[in-house]
Amino acid sequence: MMAAASAPRDVTSYGIGLAAPLALFFLAFFVAPLVQLFILSLHNDAAGAIWGIGQYVHFLTDPFSLSVLGSTLLLGAEVTALCLVLGFPIAWLYHRVGSRTQTLIILIVLLPLLTSVVVRTFAWIVILGRQGIINSTLLSIGAIDTPIRLLYTQFGVVVALAQVQMPLMTLPLITVLGRIDMNLEDASCSLGAGSWRTFWKVVLPLSLPGVIAGCTLTYAAAITAFITQSLVGGGQMLFMPMYLYQQASTLQNWPFAGAISIIFLFAVLAVVTVFGMLGRLSRGYGEA
């Protein structure tokens, strides 16, 4: 009797009503606005009097709109690649140092999350400006004669976004690298493989689930980072969040803004789906 009383309860025995509050919250504040946005996008005129798919046709046949979408997706790829290149060594180093240094690394990784993204973005404006730290240092050592343009460039946006989104890449990598048995690396080295061959044949394949998870989070956050894109990119660079804001707030063309939102949403979902497929393949490869 005591054994039967202490047996864990089947999770399926709980009433589905316990999930009702969360389901209602999700329906009210995510699904309902999304449906309203989709209905709004099915109007051919800004006044919302004529129904049709003219806004979608306009976007998909407009070279300027397609170039904005392409530049936004490319920006996400560049930021993700930079975060992966910088984040992987940090995560690898975390598991090869003492506990005090590990605490310091975690503090450095988490510190950006404890600071407002607006503050971090304005800090990058100061750093990348004509009188900023980089230009002042290069001028003082004689590397350049005049300040180089770093702010309001693609390079500046990518660097600022990489710093802002770096924790989203580093934390999954730290988690997945911690699950790799260190004896596998020792066995690879004892069989004659060098450090780089051990990394490519052992460490990297086993860490692919963390790489895919970090890339998914970083990519989705980078292409929707409205504040950093707008402030560091300035008016010379236009990405989808700012394009959407201009159509909705400045031009008051809500149907076209709704169509931009839906197309952008499906573009992001397509990329995330590709990352998900790669993640499932990487788990099978790692288990093999």
Greatest alpha-carbon pair distance for the chain in Å reads 86
pLDDT of residue 196: 83
pLDDT of residue 260: 93
Average pLDDT taken over every residue of the chain: 86
Whether pLDDT at 2 is above 50:
no
Which residue's structure tokens are 């930079």?
82
Alpha helix positions (H), 42-62: 54-61
Tell me how far apart the alpha carbons of residues 60 and 54 are, in angstroms, rounded to a whole number.
10
Is the Cβ–Cβ distance between 73 and 81 less than 8 Å? no
For residue 225, is it left (φ>0), alpha (ψ between -120 and 50) or beta?
Answer: beta
At position 229, the amino acid (one-letter code) is Q
Pick from 2-16, 34-48, 74-88, 150-164: least confident? 2-16
Is the Cβ–Cβ distance between 241 and 229 less than 8 Å? yes
Q: What is the pLDDT of residues 132-184, one digit of tens each?
A: 888 888 999 888 888 888 888 999 999 999 998 999 999 999 999 988 887 88
pLDDT of residue 6: 56
Pick from 69-73, 162-166, 186-190: least confident? 186-190
Is the Cβ–Cβ distance between 59 and 263 less than 8 Å? yes
Is the Cβ–Cβ distance between 135 and 189 less than 8 Å? no
Average pLDDT of span 89-111: 90
Tell me how far apart the alpha carbons of residues 22 and 95 are, in angstroms, rounded to a whole number.
38
Burial class for 12, CB neighbours closer than 10 Å (0-12, 13-18, 19+): exposed
The 3-state secondary structure of 202-228, one letter per residue: HHHHHCHHHHHHHHHHHHHHHHCCHHH
Burial class for 203, CB neighbours closer than 10 Å (0-12, 13-18, 19+): middle
